[in-house]
C-alpha cells in the first residue's frame, strides 16, 4: 500500500489556492454559464493526475466527474474523521447529507474510495477541509457517500481499479 496522503494534501493546497485566487470571482459572477468553470475543471483534473495519480500504478486511470477512484482508499485515523453520510445516492440530484459520528452502523467494516475534495459552496471561497468518499461494505456493494475531515484520514493506493 502506497501512502498518498502528502500528495493529496499538496493537490488540495494547490487547487484551493488556484480557485480562490484566480477563478472564484469570475465564476461566481456568471455561475454555471462561466467558461472559467469549465477551464477550472480541466485544470483540477490535470493537477490531480500530476500530483496524485502519477505516484500510483494507475496514472492513466480515467477521471470522471464524481466517480469514485477504487484504488485510492481513505483510511480514518481519528475519532473525528467522519462528519456526514449521504441519505442515498441520487445521480442527477443534489445529495442530502446528515451528520454522523464514528460509531454509525453503516460505517463499520467498510472500505472507502476517494471521490474528491469537497466544499459546501461550490462557487464560493474554498477551504478543502473535507474529502468525499464512496463507501462499500464487505461484499463490495456501493451504497453511500461520506464526508471526512482531511486532517483525520490517510489516503492509500490499493489493489486494482
Domain boundaries of the chain, sorted by first residue: 2-157
DSSP string, 77-98: -STT-EEEEESS--TTSPPPEE
The arrangement of strands across the sheet holding 153-157 comes to: 2-3, 153-157, 69-76, 111-118, 130-136, 142-149, 82-86, 97-99
pLDDT at 85: 87
H or E, element range at 25: helix 24-30
User: pLDDT tens for residues 3-58?
Assistant: 999 999 999 999 999 999 999 888 877 766 678 888 999 999 999 999 999 999 98
Q: How far apart (Å, rounded) are the C-alpha atoms in residues 113 and 122?
A: 21
The closest alpha carbon to 84, from 68, 105, 98, belongs to 98
Q: How many CA atoms lie within 13 A of 41 on its CB side?
A: 13
User: pLDDT tens for residues 65-113?
Assistant: 788 999 999 999 987 888 998 886 666 677 888 898 767 777 777 889 9
SS3 112: strand
Most confident option among 87-96, 101-110, 122-131, 132-141: 122-131
User: pLDDT tens for residues 146-161?
Assistant: 999 999 999 999 976 5
Amino acid at each position: 500500500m502506497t501512502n498518498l496522503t502528502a500528495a493529496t494534501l499538496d493537490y488540495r493546497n494547490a487547487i484551493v489556492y488556484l480557485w480562490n485566487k484566480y477563478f472564484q470571482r469570475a465564476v461566481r459572477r456568471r455561475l454555471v454559464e462561466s467558461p472559467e468553470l469549465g477551464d477550472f475543471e480541466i485544470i483540477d483534473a490535470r493537477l490531480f493526475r500530476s500530483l496524485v495519480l502519477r505516484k500510483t500504478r494507475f496514472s492513466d486511470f480515467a477521471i470522471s466527474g464524481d466517480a469514485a477512484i477504487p484504488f485510492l482508499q481513505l483510511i480514518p485515523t481519528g475519532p473525528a474523521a467522519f462528519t456526514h453520510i449521504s441519505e442515498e445516492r441520487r445521480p442527477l440530484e443534489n445529495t442530502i447529507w446528515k451528520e454522523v459520528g464514528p460509531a454509525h452502523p453503516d460505517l463499520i467494516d467498510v472500505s472507502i474510495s476517494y471521490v474528491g475534495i469537497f466544499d459546501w459552496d461550490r462557487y464560493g471561497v474554498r477551504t478543502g477541509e473535507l474529502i468525499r468518499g464512496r463507501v462499500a461494505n464487505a461484499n463490495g456493494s456501493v451504497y453511500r457517500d461520506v464526508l471526512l475531515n482531511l486532517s483525520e484520514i490517510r489516503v492509500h493506493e490499493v489493489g486494482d481499479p
